[in-house]
Amino acid sequence: MEQHLICLDLDGTLLNSKQEITPLTKKVIEILQAQGHKFIISTGRPYRASQIYYNALNLDTPIVNFNGAFVHHPCDMNFETFHETLDLDVSRDIFAKIPHLNIKNIVAEIKDRVFLHYHDEYLFEGFSMGNPIIKIGDLLDSIQEPPTTILIQAEEKEIPNIYKHFDEIYADHLEHRRWGAPFPVIEIVKKGINKAVGVKLCHEYLNIKQENVIAFGDEDNDNEMIRYAGTGVAMGNAIDELKTIANHVTDTNNEDGIAKYLIQYFNLEV
């Protein structure tokens, strides 16, 4: 079989509800790696919060972070790092509208620096993985350079109004996507940026055909990646929209969905 590239979202996909890679999934990945197939992580998380899983799987490939806004290769310094940021003026305009959109909290990230508008113990703990520099306070004062991403926390009932506002005012400047558990937030990145952009960079760098790309995901930030892959696979716990566009639906992230699909696809004996 020709070499394949398997793209793995983290939360709700590779990781179970305990934020762990199950033993069966790890074993299947190791078998396929030994056969010459390649794996990448493609996530909304920053690198610092995904490095532990990159190392656990002994990866030697590029990694897609911030939903495609940042792609680099931890093992190859000759890989040309890809980093697309938001427009600073647009970002500051969003910060100024926090009180008017009933936004609960907002987080801006610039590579490994995290800026929280309001102190929130849950968000603080979640975004402190990897020991970034964290600053808390009015983002209009603290952000002086273009952020890689903006994350908005709001009550579920406020989400449609926030989406509507962004689509009306900022449609030419940004993309917005939902994260699932454990951090249900709206992530904002530069217009035209998504996971498929990062996956394309990776499979071309690895000289693997697009038709031999398999992608697994569960949320709407996996939409473009699932469509782009030669084979897009939605998890059993995925949102209905993703299941509709995917080529296949596997079991949930708590039922070894990735491992079961790959065992069948590659006809493995485990």
Which positions are catalytic? 9
3-state DSSP assignment of residue 214: strand
- What is the DSSP secondary structure assignment for residue 176, as one 8-state letter? E
Q: What CA–CA distance (Å, rounded) separates 218 from 170? A: 26
Q: Which two tokens stand for residue 64?
A: 């897609």
Note whether 123 and 116 are within 8 A (CB): yes
10 Å Cβ neighbour count for 21?
19
CA count, 13 A, side-chain hemisphere, 10: 27
Q: What CA–CA distance (Å, rounded) separates 199 from 232? A: 12
Q: Which two tokens stand for residue 134?
A: 């964290």
In the chain, what are the helix, strand and coil shares in percent, each to the nearest 5? 35, 20, 40
CA distances (Å), 39 to each of 161, 212, 233, in order?
38, 12, 15
Taking CB atoms within 8 Å and a gap of at least 24, the contacts of 51-59 are: 51/130, 53/10, 53/14, 53/15, 53/21, 56/21, 56/26, 57/21, 57/26, 57/29, 58/30, 58/33
